[in-house]
Amino acid sequence: MVRNIHLILEYDGGKYHGWQRQAGQSTVQGRIEHVLNQMTGEEIDLIGASRTDAGVHALGQSANFFTRSTLSLAEMEAYLRQYLPDDIQLVSIREAEPRFHARHLAIGKHYRYQIWNDEKKNIFERRYYYHVRQKLDLKAMEEAISLLTGTRDFRAFTTALSKDKSAYKRLDSITIEQQGSKIFLHFKGDSFLHKMVRMLTGTLIQVGLHEITLEDVRKLTTSPREKRHILTAPPHALFLVEVYY
């Protein structure tokens, strides 16, 4: 009998060339599949909900795989907790219905971008925060958010768009959370284009530094084919928080 196993995973993407399996590259998917192959004695194809970029982390990556293994869930959990590398961890495991597909059935995703906004460096957390020395104008950033949310053409906020992929996405919300020098940007939407969250983050940072105006942001959303310079925030401070079904 073929079983469908659903995993929730967290990982530090710092040393990986993204989620998606690539020949000759160390990837999160490839590393987990290697352990699953050893566990089941099968060639496992792990289906991930989000193909996170190189250097991006996850707190709640959703993935599933099909297997004929007779191992119990408890045995699988124990095996994965023992043999996954130190920078990848199993959060939960369950038996899913046969038609469950981690990517195709996802209806929304939550990403978080982390900024350290202070003149001084945060040396102990620098691997997970983007350091912006100049004080950000959060009020201006909040005003720009209303121009970015909703269902719209986000062509201006991606570096790669295949001919058969639509640039129209539904961005439900962007919220700003401040804890002292730490600023968290939360993005929730149905799905995201390649580098879209990082380019939206860069745009908001540019607004917060008064490098671009609200009118510049409006033009990016109303004339998305117009070429404009957008800061692409680095990947090391981006986290996939949760996938919604």
Q: Give dist(CA 36, CA 26) in Å, integer.
A: 16
* Given 12, 53, 87, 164, the catalytic residue: 53
Q: How far apart are CA 148 and CA 241, in angstroms?
A: 20
Question: Could you confirm whether 53 is annotated as catalytic?
Answer: yes
Pairing of strands 57-67, 238-244: parallel
Buried b (16+ CB within 10 A) or exposed e, 53-83: bbbbbbebbbbbbbbebeeeeeebeebbeee
User: What one-character-per-residue DSSP string does 227-241 give?
Assistant: --------GGGEEEE
Give the C-alpha separation, 226 to 55, whole Å: 29
Distance CA 115, CA 60 (A): 20
Active site amino acids: 53
